[in-house]
Amino acid sequence: MIYDHRTYTCRPGTIGKHMALYGEHGWPIQRKHLGDPVVYGAVETGDVNSYVHIWVFDDAADRATKRAALAADPEWQEYLKKSAEAGYLVSQVNKILKPAPFFKG
């Protein structure tokens, strides 16, 4: 199992607008291809202009297959276009995590 941990940062004052745009146009199609994330939340302390989501995959091949299907979906492409036009996002940091040998989450 692997975890895909993603942190996105929005321009100050735009995280609510970005979440509304994503909630309407991105969330349904992303869940269709990736399933439900373990976590999807806005940061409440620290960098309050950011949010984090963590997705679980069987392995790197499972992640690659699901993300390729998402990337190829015209609805996802339309969401990405809307997001880029809105210009709310300023950075993205992705990390792939492997569970510790003693963790059975």
Summarize the confidence of residues 10-17 as an average pLDDT. Answer: 96
Flag whether pLDDT at 104 surpasses 90: no
What is the pLDDT averaged over residues 79-93? Answer: 97
User: What dotted CATH number matches 2-97?
Assistant: 3.30.70.100
Handedness of CA 30, 49, 94, 71 (dihedral sign): positive
Asked if residue 31 has pLDDT above 80, the reply is yes
For the chain, what percent of residues have pLDDT higher than 70? 99
Q: What is the pTM of this model?
A: 0.89
pLDDT of amino acid 102? 92
Task: Tell me which residue of 94, 34, 89 sits closest to 58, measured CA to CA.
Answer: 34
- pLDDT of 105 > 70? The answer is no
Long-range contacts of 66-70 (CB under 8 A, 24+ apart): 66/33, 66/34, 66/35, 67/33, 67/34, 69/33, 70/29, 70/30, 70/33, 70/34
